[in-house]
Amino acid sequence: MKVVIIGPAYPLRGGLATYNERLARAFREAGDEVRLVTFSLQYPGFLFPGETQFSTEPGPTDLDIDVSINSVNPLTWLSVGRRLRQERPDLVIFRFWLPFMGPALGTIAHLVRGNGHTRVVAITDNVIPHEKRPGDRPLTRYFLSACHGFVTMSRSVLADLRRLRFRQPAQYQPHPLYDNFGPIRPQEQALRALQLDPQCRYLLFFGFIRAYKGLDVLLEAFADKRLVQLPLKLIVAGEYYEDAAPYEALIRQHNLESRLVRATDFIPNERVADYFCAADLIVQPYKTATQSGVSQIAYHFERPMLVTDVGGLAELIPDGEVGYVVQPSPQAIADALVDFASHPERQAQFEEGTRHYKQQFSWAEMVKALKTVAGASQSA
């Protein structure tokens, strides 16, 4: 099968690019011919609050990546769409995560499917965004209407598609493991690499810092008096994607500075293993969510997790078996942290749970789901 994946990829950085590159390798492992088409410009400056959209790491040498879409230049949408329509790949997979991308990706998709041969399937991270803006719905609908089918990585997004009355074939398939950050490292080695005190235990908040991810809720929870005297520190590893001032105010208000480990720059791929393997518990205190790649990194490194019961997060984290599922409140998060810190046996129990449950999150199953939806759309 000839497959094209359209979405972020090198030289862009971040979780979406990492996912799409790993998916391309999975298709290749299945015997398919695959290439990626990505953005020369992904976001205009006003939509990108980070330091840079581009990776400083060497690019992958084993992937065919075409850098040709400018998200704000319609001429590139037309050029890419017409070229792919003529090339007639069997399957074009779009990664859709933000309404802003609707015009660019929707135009390409409408053009490609016009050849009557290519199946257009979208992996929809979100169809109702975390942070809403005027015009979200028409932009999203424009893109979704061009697709033959969908794969979602949470049941809540599948429900959102149906609520928006899109009836194309669709399938839920859990987010596969992020197994491309290297093997599990001994915790002692990871602590040395990060120059962390081995006498402490560590919580990890990982990823871009945005309002919906609830770092403020976690800081409030971490200020709980029951936790203050424990040898427990919080690692905050990820770049601010919004104003840091409110978080800094919370840190000062609760006198948390000495209990934090700050790594608030972009974390390159080669350092991800150190942060996860150094941590005793991965904490995702999200206020809203669909799914999270952070959970799948944690599963790969067999780390216990605490997640809030929002969106699709709890679907993949059996409460009491691989960690905790709690309400998104400081009190509920603090109660779970106290339980974890007070019962050292929890860690070994949860680690065993991650080893058991991680087996279901394979890239081969994601490839199979995408092909199944493409086939169903052809016969529909």
* DSSP, residue by residue, 240-257: BSS-SHHHHHHHHHTT-G
CA distance 204 to 65: 33
**Would the pLDDT of 130 be above 70?**
no
**What pLDDT was estimated at residue 52?**
64
Q: What is the pLDDT of residues 347-371, one digit of tens each?
A: 999 999 999 999 889 999 999 999 9
- In the chain, the N- to C-terminal Cα span, in Å, equals 20
Structural domains in the chain, sorted by start: 2-176+362-379 (3.40.50.11930), 187-359 (3.40.50.2000)
Sheet holding 260-263, edge to edge: 260-263, 232-237, 201-206, 281-284, 305-308, 323-326
* The one-letter amino acid at 186: P
pTM: 0.82
**What pLDDT was estimated at residue 51?**
60
* The one-letter amino acid at 370: L
Q: What is the pLDDT of residues 277-287, one digit of tens each?
A: 999 999 999 99
**Contacts (Cβ under 8 Å, ≥6 apart) of 172:** 151, 152, 153, 154, 155, 158
Q: What angle do CA 211, 217, 219 make, to 5 degrees?
A: 110
What is residue 43's three-state secondary structure?
A: coil
**What pLDDT was estimated at residue 190?**
98
* The one-letter amino acid at 3: V
CA distance 224 to 335: 9
171 burial level (CB within 10 Å; 0-12, 13-18, 19+): middle
Own/partner pairs for 144-147, CB < 8 Å, 24+ apart? 144/96, 145/106, 146/106, 146/109, 146/110, 146/113, 146/120, 147/94, 147/109, 147/120, 147/121, 147/122
Mean pLDDT of 17-31: 96
Q: What is the pLDDT of residues 57-106, one digit of tens each?
A: 788 999 999 999 999 999 999 999 999 999 999 999 999 999 999 999 99
**Would the pLDDT of 48 be above 60?**
no
Question: What six digits make up the tokens of 64?
Answer: 């065919």
**What pLDDT was estimated at residue 380?**
61
**Would the pLDDT of 229 be above 90?**
no
Mean pLDDT of 171-192: 94
**Would the pLDDT of 49 be above 60?**
no
CB 121 within 8 A of CB 373: yes
pLDDT classification of 50: cutoffs 50, 70, 90: low
* The one-letter amino acid at 375: G
**Would the pLDDT of 175 be above 80?**
yes
Report CA torsion sign: 92, 95, 96, 102.
Answer: negative
